[in-house]
Structure 1
Amino acid sequence: MKKFKILSGILILLALTGCSSTEKYQKQEQINKLTQNGMVFYWNGGDLKKAEKEFFKGITLKGKFDVVENSFKEASLLDPERLDLRFGIASSQIIQNKTEDALNTYSEIIKMYPESFEANMLLAGYNRALGNTDKYDTIIKNIKEKSPEEVNEFIKRFERTDKTMETKFMTEAYKIENPNNVIVTLGYALGKGGVMEKPLIKRLEQTLKLAKLNPEMPIIVTGGVQQGGVTEGYVMKKWLVEKGINADRIYIEDLAKDTVGNALYSVKILKELKAKNITIISSATHMRRAISVFKEMSVTEGLELDNITNLVYFDYNNMDEAYQIPQKEKLVIYRDMMRASGIWAYPGIQM
């Protein structure tokens, strides 16, 4: 499939006409510092007061994602023509549930560069998730005239994502009849010292039950965030082996830091295993997003899957609650689906 690149080759135009080489260099250095600071806070958080003092004179920061947003805002002030920085602002606003701000930011990008496929698709996708059908239809109609094939591909992605919202949760382990099926268990952040938290243990307990019912089936355990010198993937495999699962069945994906990364690196393993079907194990609150991301990453990476089934650790209060999908969840599902489809959240920095 065609990989979508932000702004089709004009991503990093400096647009600093009239500045000396030294001034250009200094501005670029400051932009780099700001964006790097933003991504450090994105992944790890940090000292808000220190960030205020070093980067944001007169700005009171409210949390780590507020640091990310303001880092890209300050960088964008230094180089207003850098549209990748504006994409970073919008992504940070989506994370914070500042939906209207994000939609306005994407609209500003489109005013500057009307043919930006990425900005148009993001604006269309979020409006679709919000139920703004008329706005969605208008955006699709406008951009489809310029990029009909690419737009049709994304319409299919949107339709698959909406279908994923109807996923029924499997709460009990079962015998899997699908051929060439692989179990994929998604990790959960480790506690201090590399200790597994309750959600991860519950996911592994479901994995153990499913693995025993399907003794020949390969298993991928995912998660590359380290705590105490170990990754999620490492401790997950260790736990399963200690419970009697053959180590040769278990493949570790321990490069990723989030669900989109889990899908990207797991798909590479799935290709090697010649998988045609997969069963994802995760928490119920995470499952719709996980399925959508794995579906779209498989398409993006050219892995043809026949079916994706699930087994959940049920972490809702009841089934009625489980099938009521709040707007915030829809937006997050669409955000990560579009990342898995090739539109980076932070262009050139993070998928």
Structure 2
Amino acid sequence: MKNLKKKLGLALAVTLSTVTFATAYSTTAEPTTAATSENVNENTIRNDEPTSDRINQFKDIAMYYYWHGGDIQQAEKDIFKGITLKGKYDVVENAFKEATLLDPYDLDLKLSLASTQIIQKKTPEALQTYKQILNLDPNHFNANLLYGVYSKVNGDNSSYKSSISNLKQIDAKKTNEYLQKLETTETILDENLNTSAPADLPQKDHAIVILGYALAEDGSMREPLIERLKAGLAIAKQYPNSKIIVTGGVPKQGITEADAMSNWLISQGIEKDRIILENKSTDTVENGLFSTAILDKEGIKDVTLVTSASHMRRALTVFKEASDFYNKMNGNNIDRNFTNVVYLDYPSLEEAHKVSKDEILVIYRDLIRTSGIWQYPGLQR
């Protein structure tokens, strides 16, 4: 614990005094070799430490805030003096900005910075960061792809076409694979959303996948998750032979989303042996990847996804990409069929079918993540 606090400049020990840091976030970075005299102010990242250690400290701070947040005012005081922060992703962004100043040659740090800007929907800033990467390495495949896709989302089709042209010169086969993924996603954007189950779903080799939603701090389920479960329960009663996969692995008070969902379904009369827990995922991308592994193992070709209307197009994109990946990895040719049932979190179904620019941005972000390109290279998918 002592070494870990020193490694983070002790700033997080102050900022996150109510958290046992060693159990909340584990790091694989090397411990600091800087002087540790008791009379040295250790509430800041010190300039008398090796540059690599200081970079790792900023990366650790970024990843901690990405997951847990913290006291923003304390971060302003102890880590980012003179910078006004607005939220936890502001801390992540500024940590990577500081890291890129320490090593302006490290393109992975720049990719991480751009990803945080995308999370905050700061698309122009992210595009500028990707442009820096491409100025340094014009043949960087991932940067070209990300720059092109987000340019298109931002309404700049000329830059998108230029990026695709560059990508074809770098790796034509890989580029064509991504063009197919983008085309599939375009189709999903026009998908009809259903508020009840279709009447002609298969009576066997069919699964209902109910996507999780973050639990409250006391471990209870929030309204969106309960509504998703109600929608899933209706289908489960309509198709009693279908397996039910519940997803979500982030624990609160020792219980995961999948655990809570399973308990609720059982309390509503669903047999326990129908339910399969996917309790390792931390977000939609991992919901898709880890649930697809279960679908493959169970030999299930027909899937009904259940989630909120605002989340469904992203879920369908992720699950389709995950299914294609598993086909490729295992040498299979499973033409998995996806249907959907939504909890309507819009005023009307008509409103739900309108796709905003912000939603498109997040859909493409998660498509790219599911395809294997990490948001934070070497740190976080």
State how far apart, in whole Å, the 2-side matches of 1:108 and 1:298 are: 34
Equivalent positions of 1:232-247 (< 5 A) are 232-247=257-272
Is 1:175–1:214's contact at 8 Å kept on the other side of the alignment?
no
**TM-score normalised over the length of structure 1:** 0.90
> Displacement of 1:306 after TM fit?
2.7
Question: Of 58, 69, 77, which residue of structure 1 is paired with 2:101?
Answer: 77
Q: Deviations over 1:139-173 (max 9, x none)?
A: 10122012000000000011011111001111013
1:48-87 superposed matches below 5 A: 48-87=72-111
Residue number in structure 1 paired with 2:245: 220
For 1:284-299, what aligned pairs fall within 5 Å after superposition? 284-299=309-324
Partner of 1:14: none
Asked whether the equivalents of residues 175 and 210 of structure 1 are also in contact (C-alpha less than 8 Å), the reply is no
Paired residue for 1:331?
361
Deviations along 1:222-277, whole A, 9 cap, x unmatched? 01111121110000001111111111111111111110111111111111111212
The match for 1:120 is 144
Higher relative contact order (CA 8 A, sep 6+): 1
In structure 1, runs of 5+ residues without a counterpart are 1-22
1:97-144: per-residue Cα shift (whole Å, max 9, x none)?
A: 111000111111111111111001111111222332222111101220
Structure-2-length-normalised TM-score:
0.83
Secondary structure of 2:338's aligned partner: strand
Decide whether the 8 Å contact of 1:278 with 1:307 is kept in 2: yes
1:47 deviates by 0.6
| Counterpart Cα distance in 2 of 1:147 and 1:338 | 17
Aligned match for 1:250, one of 275, 282, 301:
275
1:252 is aligned with what amino acid?
Answer: L
Tell me how far apart the structure 2 counterparts of residues 81 and 299 of structure 1 sit (CA, whole Å). Answer: 35
Q: Does 1:46 align with 2:76?
A: no
Q: 1:229 to 1:176 in 2, by over 3 A?
A: farther
Structure-2 separation of matches of 1:306 and 1:297? 11
**Per-residue deviation, residues 172-213 of structure 1 (Å, max 9, x unmatched):** 134453452211110011112111111101100111110111
Partner of 2:326: 301
- Aligned counterpart in structure 1 of residue 61 of structure 2, from 26, 29, 37: 37
Which amino acid in the other structure matches residue 68 of structure 1?
A: V
Provide, for residues 69-100 of structure 1, a one-character-per-residue CA deviation record: whole Å limited to 9, x for no partner.
Answer: 01111111111111111011101101111110
Report if aligned partners of 2:323, 2:336 keep a CA contact under 8 Å in 1. no
Aligned position for 2:236: 211
In the superposition, relative to structure 1, how do residues 175 and 246 fare at CA in structure 2: closer, same or farther (>3 Å)? farther
Larger Rg: 2
CA distance in 1: counterparts of 2:62 and 2:254, whole angstroms: 24
Residue 184 of structure 2 corresponds to residue 160 of structure 1: yes
1:194 maps to what in 2?
A: 219
Q: How does 1:306-325 map to 2 (within 5 A)?
A: 306-325=336-355
Unaligned runs of 5+ in 2: 1-46
Match of 2:164 in 1: 140
Among all aligned residue pairs of Structure 1 and Structure 2, give the percentage whose two residues are the same amino acid.
Answer: 46
Structure 2 CA distance for partners of 1:25 and 1:254, relative to 1, 3 Å: farther
Deviation at 1:25, TM superposition (A): 7.6
For residues 28 and 111 of structure 1, what CA distance do their matches in structure 2 show?
24
Asked if 2 retains the 8 angstrom alpha-carbon contact of 1:182 and 1:217, the reply is yes
Distance 1:244 1:34, change over 3 A: same
Greater shift after overlay, 121-130 or 290-299? 121-130
In 2: Cα distance, 1:173 partner to 1:299 partner: 24
Contact 2:123/2:154, CA 8 A, preserved across alignment: no
1:186–1:222 CA contact under 8 A, matched in 2: yes
How many pairs align? Answer: 329
Displacement of 1:320 in angstroms is 2.5
Residue type of the alignment partner of 1:281: V
Structure 1 counterpart of 2:23: none
Q: Does 1:185 align with 2:249?
A: no
1:104 aligned to which of 100, 125, 128:
128
Post-superposition offset of 1:319:
2.3
Distance 2:262 2:350 in 1: 34
User: Comparing 329-338 with 38-47, which one deviates more in the overlay?
Assistant: 38-47
The equivalent position to 2:298 in structure 1, one of 254, 260, 273, is 273
Superposition deviation, residue 24 in structure 1: 11
Q: Please, what is the CA RMSD of the aligned residues?
A: 1.6
Per-residue CA deviations over 1:13-49 (Å, capped at 9, x if unaligned) read: xxxxxxxxxx998222221121111111112211112
